[in-house]
Each structure stands twice: as C-alpha cells, then as structure tokens.
Amino acid sequence: MAFRCANCGQEYDLTLVAWRCERCTGLLNMTTALNFDPAQVTDEASIWRFRHTFPLAPNVMPISLGEGNTPLVQVDLPTTPANETAHSVYLKCEYQNPTGSHLDRAMALLVSQAIQHGMQDFTVASTGNAAVSLSKYLLEANKSGTAHVPINASLDKLATVADSLDLNDTSGQLSSAYEAAEQQAAAGAYYASVAHQPLALAALATIAYELYTDLGDAPAAIVAPAGQGTLLLSLYLGFQALKSAGLTTRIPRLLGVQSDAVAPLWAVKNYGFQAFGLIEENATLASGLQVIAPARGDSVLSALHVSQGEIVTVTEFQIEGGRVMFADIGHPVEATSASIWTPMRAILQSDIDGPVVAILTGQAEG
Ligand SMILES: [Zn+2]
C-alpha cells in the first residue's frame, strides 16, 4: 500500500503528510484497495482494532480518544404506514463519538500519522465538527494549529477549541476557509482535510466494518448526508473490502443527501459536468453540506452508481423537520445529519430487501 497522484501518477510512501501531489497539486489516492482480514481484528475499544486495514507505517503510535464502536440502534419510526413495516431501520449513532461526530475516526489517523512524521503546526477549514475534532486530538498530542472558519460557522461548537486551535474567522463562505487553510498548508502546516487526505478514507471505512459486525451482513441500504461525499465513498471502499474477503456478497445501496441550496453532486449526476458552473454557495441550515466543489466528487458519484444508489436533495424545511423528528425519537442531531430524515423515510417505501442504516454523523449544536 502506498499513495498515488490521480493526475500525474507520482507515488508517495506511507510517510505521506502532503494533502495533494507535491509535483502537480493533483488529488492523492491509495494505490490498492483496502484489505480486511477478520483474523487480524483485535479487541481494542476503538477503530484501532482495525489497524491492519490502515495505510500506516508500523511505527505510527496511535493517538486515540476511543473513537468508533458507536451504537447501532434499531428504531420503530413514529406514524409508520403499513408498507414501511417490512424493513428494519437502524441508526448508526456517530454523534456519540468522543467529540460528537464521525470525523473523530479520521482525525485519529491523520493526527497520529502527522505527529509520527514530525509535523508541528496544523490547519483545517471547518464550520464546526472538523475543528472540534482536530482540537481534541491535538490537545491529546500536545500540539496546536489554526482553524479557518466561514461566516456561518457553529460558534457554540467552536467555543471548545481554544485550548489547541486559534480561530481565524474568514468572514466569507466555506470556500474562503478552504483557501486560508491551503495557504497555511503551503507554509508548512499539516492540512487535516478529511476530504483530501487519502488516509481519511481508510479511517471512515471502519464504519462499514462495524455495521457488518453488528448486523452479521452488509445492510441493504445506507442513507447519509453528502457534503464532500467522503463518508459515502469510504463506506463503499469498506464494503468492497468485506466483499473481497468473502464476508458478504452485497454492497449496500448508498443514498447520499444534499441540500437544495448547494447540490453539486446531484447537479452533475443529473445534468453532467456542465452543471458544475451553475452551483452557487447558498446558505443552508446544514452547514456541513455547504460544499460547492467536492474534492473526490467523481469517485463519490462512481461509488454511488456501482452501489445502485442515488443522490437526492432536500429543502430547508425538510432539514428543520428532520431535526425535530430525530430529537423527538431521542436522537438530538445537527441539521446536517437531520437532512437524511425524509430520504430515509422514502427508501422504506421502496422495494429494498433488508435492513436500512441511517448514519447520524454529528450531534446537535449548543
Ligand atoms: Zn501529481
């Protein structure tokens, strides 16, 4: 296993700390598929029990807050019509990770890797969750950095990052925050970008291994919010690894949810790449979905296609309604996660054959 530039083919070994190709600025991928071996899974109470699947050098010391092992909860949805009852719905409670989001899985690996290879300064662009997660792992490692935040950042969440991260309010949209983080990375900081660092894909794939372990098979379908789409791509790679190991015969149908306000994946899937120029960075309650140019967009769409999945969009009203409904059944999640409520209900009306998993990525603000 190593890393390779998708553009020029330049290869990088497992000591990689760059977030993009140093020769041509291209996107970096893993050179081989993930490899899952049930005999190598340990009994550690974190994602590190799947360490054998990670593209990490053997000398990397884990920095862990106990990420992963999140609850999978079967639910009876309220006011369920008769034709929905044939399906089981499971909620994967990623908001119960140490800092409240699925990003902890990725930050654990990124920070561990970066520190092993001598990085001192860290940078991230974030509306909330990524900065909170990075801050706690840096605190654990006694390191520091800067979080570049957009105008609509979650100030409630960011109130907790100050012990290890300086906040740079860009006063612009999320794209301004990305630009500021890239500048700091160019000056030598480690860019803790879950969307760009290929290691993050291997980290988030651990959700697939946990779902397989808990259900005894791959679920029939998975619904998740899709800003960058990294989570869905990672799930696809994880289930591919399980399938290659002969542990399951199916890849779950992957359903990604975007906001009507900013829906680049949906637009390109339905109208081709010429639609990309029409995407505007409009405001949405679901700040985690306010991504106009997903870094791995083509890979995400390809994974959804192979899984016979789909990208759907929801309105702001549906996002707010989802937040109320999830809270009502005991799962207080942020708006980004709540975006999946309506599509989750819709998939239960389809001819799906087997359990449906909804990924609750982040906890409620405040
Ligand atoms: Zn390159």
**Lowest mean pLDDT, pick from 3-12, 30-39, 169-178, 186-195:** 169-178
The number of beta carbons lying within 10 Å of the beta carbon of residue 90 is 20
Buried b (16+ CB within 10 A) or exposed e, 190-221: bbbbbbbbbbbbbbbbbbbbbbbeebeebbbb
State the Cα–Cα distance between residues 134 and 129, nearest whole angstrom: 9
Inter-residue contact 132 to 108 (CB < 8 Å): no
CA distances from 244 to 38, 61, 184, 308 (A): 12, 28, 39, 18
Quick one: average pLDDT of 299-323? 97
Round the average pLDDT of the chain to a whole number and report it: 94
For residue 15, which amino acid is it?
A: T
Global pTM? 0.96
State the Cα–Cα distance between residues 232 and 238, nearest whole angstrom: 10
> At residue 217, does pLDDT exceed 60?
yes
Report CA(297)–ligand 1 centroid distance (Å): 18
Inter-residue contact 254 to 234 (CB < 8 Å): no
Report CA(5)–ligand 1 centroid distance (Å): 5
| DSSP class of 273 | G
pLDDT confidence tier of residue 280, bands split at 50, 70 and 90: confident
Tokens 């083919």 found at:
9
Report CA(60)–ligand 1 centroid distance (Å): 25
Report CA(10)–ligand 1 centroid distance (Å): 5
Report CA(11)–ligand 1 centroid distance (Å): 8
Report CA(240)–ligand 1 centroid distance (Å): 26
Quick one: average pLDDT of 310-319? 97
Quick one: average pLDDT of 140-167? 92
Buried b (16+ CB within 10 A) or exposed e, 249-276: eebbbbbbbbbbbbbbbbbbbeeeeeee
> At residue 34, does pLDDT exceed 70?
yes
Taking only the tens place, the pLDDT of each residue in 73-110 is: 999 776 556 655 556 799 999 999 999 999 999 999 99
Q: What percent of the chain has pLDDT over 70?
A: 97
Handedness of CA 183, 187, 191, 196 (dihedral sign): positive
Report CA(45)–ligand 1 centroid distance (Å): 37
Report CA(18)–ligand 1 centroid distance (Å): 12
